[in-house]
Structure formats: C-alpha cells, structure tokens
Amino acid sequence: MSAEGRDGGDAPSSRVERRRGSEPVAGVVERHFQTFLISVITTAVLFTAGYIFTDNREKGVASAQLQALTSMVIEMRGEIRAMQNNYTTKEETKDIEMRLRSLERGTAR
C-alpha cells in the first residue's frame, strides 16, 4: 500500500472535509443548526410569554368589569324589592280609576 492508502488520504470514507483551519464542515453545520434551534425556541418562549401577559391583563380587566356588574346587579335587586312593595294589583286600581272617571265626568258638565 502507498502512504496515502495507509493514512486514508484519498479514500472517501476516511477523508474529513475541513473549512478554514481545523474545524470540520459537519461541526459548522451542526453549530448553525443549534443556533437556528435556539432561535426558534427563544421565539416560541417570547411568543408564549407575550400571550400569557396579554391574557392575564385581559383577565384582570374582565375581573374588574365583572365586579362592577355584580355590584350593579345587587343594587338593581334592592330597587326591584323596593318597587315590589309599591306594586298594586289591577283590582286595587279599579276603584281609583272609577273615582277618577267620575271626577272627570263631573268637571266636563
């Protein structure tokens, strides 16, 4: 065997391609791939954090609005109860209507 055959000089299976200095091309590609993955992961984490922040802010606003609406409903219930005490049935108002009509007839003469 020649010197090239023993140390694997031209054999495709043993040849390691190199780029600028001593770093193999496969190492450079792996580094770029890792950088790309880190960028994708970082983007996903930032997007998720932004979504969670926005969602929490919207929940806070909705919670404040819900509390305001709850207090309004409580006030309205009180007003309805007060109005129910003043409610008169149709039978109760018939007498008043008859008296009113008789008064109207008396003034029209």
Q: What is the pLDDT of residue 86?
A: 80
Cα separation of 10 and 21, whole Å? 19
Q: What is the pLDDT of residue 11?
A: 46
Cα separation of 89 and 97, whole Å? 13
What pairs with residue 19 in β-bridges? 23
3-state SS string over the chain?
Answer: CCHHHHHCCCCCCCCCCEECCCEEHHHHHHHHHHHHHHHHHHHHHHHHHHHHHHHHHHHHHHHHHHHHHHHHHHHHHHHHHHHHHCCCCHHHHHHHHHHHHHHHHHHHC
Which residues, other chains included, contact 3 with Cβ-Cβ below 8 Å and sequence gap of 6+?
Answer: 9
pLDDT mean values, one per 10 residues, the chain (109 residues): 47 48 76 94 96 93 95 94 82 87 79
Q: What is the pLDDT of residue 109?
A: 55
